[in-house]
Structure 1
Amino acid sequence: MNASAEQLQAALQARDFAAVAGAIPYAVFLGLAVEDDRNGDGRIYRMPFREALVGNVRLQALHGGTVAGLLEVSMQLDVLIAESQLRLPYPVDFSIDYWRSAQARDCLCRCRLIRSGRRIAQVQAECWQDDPDKPVAFARADFLLRAADSGEAD
């Protein structure tokens, strides 16, 4: 196992989710934070608002790509955190439904791991801003699970 994989494994074992998110450059770009879900046993992923994320200046709406990025990276992190052994999730299928414009505020995301098998994990995620009952977007993804040290599917 290489040094990066060992650091990631140590962060996962210590449940240092900030360090786990810090290992993914796009998560760092989005400013992604991982929080405990007070209403359940899962995690909430937060993307703090920044002007650079605005896609439509007139509406002050976030760019749809940043919302999609939040959902995809959150699902990827959720699979990584849920796995008992270090297997890196590589996206092979991703679909998103946008339900409303994301306004100039923080976005939150909650993921649900549907299935995690020997080679594939399936995840759903929902994104909202102020009220979880008024989602901004919903996504589904399939991830290929690969051993961290080989680059091959196990």
Structure 2
Amino acid sequence: MTAPTSKLQQAVAQARAAGDPARLAAYVPYAQTMGISLLLAPEGPHAGELLGVMRFGEHLIGNPMLPALHGGALCALLESTAIFQLLWESELSAAPRTIGLTVEYLRSGRPVDTFARGVPTRQGRRVANVRVEAWQDDRSRPIAVASAHFLVHSEVEAGKSEP
């Protein structure tokens, strides 16, 4: 691997070296606004998995009568988690660009912290697919799932495309 050249590559490299994905989320102002952070699952069968966490905030409520989380806030968590998963696992020369995102809302999100996990299902030279699940108290009862497709540029491809 060559030395990181962009600020994003440097942020990813520093987060990996420290074993602290929260540093990566802190680099993205949108994630901070939405209350999205990252952590590695501490123990159990999922130890070491990268998790997206959206801390509850009143600004995330979409239906105050229930109250329920706004679908756009859940979508932001799902998409951000997928992007962070690709950045954490892959050697990308630029941030993944969203091609498409299909979200299935399974149940109302309550006003509590929400967790998400992205699993890359395919990563080619130019396109990556990620399946993402979001849950609150019980991982086996997701509140939303998504299928995300991204345009990606690996360091190898970046070198080929330059004149």
Look up the SS of the partner of 2:152 in the other structure.
Answer: strand
Task: Summarize the alignment of residues 124-135 of structure 1 with structure 2, pairs less than 5 Å apart.
Answer: 124-135=131-142
Partner amino acid, structure 1, of 2:115? L
Distance apart, 1:147 and its partner CA: 5.3
Q: Are positions 1:45 and 2:47 aligned together?
A: no
Q: Taking structure 1 as reference, are residues 53 and 88 closer, same or farther at Cα in structure 2, changes over 3 Å only?
A: same
Q: Percent identity?
A: 32
Match of 2:111 in 1: 104
Task: Summarize the alignment of residues 1-154 of structure 1 with structure 2, pairs less than 5 Å apart.
Answer: 1-37=5-41, 38=43, 39-40=45-46, 41-146=48-153
Look up the SS of the partner of 1:72 in the other structure.
Answer: helix
Partner amino acid, structure 1, of 2:24? V
Moved over 6 A (4+): none
Look up the SS of the partner of 1:88 in the other structure.
Answer: coil
**Larger Cα-atom Rg:** 2
Distance apart, 1:86 and its partner CA: 4.0
Q: Taking structure 1 as reference, are residues 50 and 122 closer, same or farther at Cα in structure 2, changes over 3 Å only?
A: same
Look up the SS of the partner of 1:103 in the other structure.
Answer: coil
Q: Taking structure 1 as reference, are residues 50 and 79 closer, same or farther at Cα in structure 2, changes over 3 Å only?
A: same
The two structures, once aligned, show a CA RMSD in angstroms of 2.3
Distance apart, 1:8 and its partner CA: 3.5
More strand by percentage: 1
Look up the SS of the partner of 1:100 in the other structure.
Answer: coil
Distance apart, 1:153 and its partner CA: 9.0
Unaligned runs of 5+ in 2: none
1:56–1:63 CA contact under 8 A, matched in 2: yes
Distance apart, 1:109 and its partner CA: 0.6
Distance in 2 of aligned mates of 1:138 and 1:113 = 13
Normalised to the residue count of structure 2, the TM-score between the two structures is 0.83
Unaligned runs of 5+ in 1: none
Distance apart, 1:14 and its partner CA: 3.2
Distance in 2 of aligned mates of 1:18 and 1:66 = 19
1:147–1:153 CA contact under 8 A, matched in 2: no
Partner amino acid, structure 2, of 1:129? Q
**How many matched pairs?**
153
Distance in 2 of aligned mates of 1:91 and 1:77 = 12
More helix by percentage: 2
Q: Taking structure 1 as reference, are residues 67 and 153 closer, same or farther at Cα in structure 2, changes over 3 Å only?
A: farther
Distance apart, 1:2 and its partner CA: 3.6
Q: Taking structure 1 as reference, are residues 12 and 50 closer, same or farther at Cα in structure 2, changes over 3 Å only?
A: same
1:46-65: CA deviation from partner (whole Å, max 9, x where unpaired): 11111111111111101110
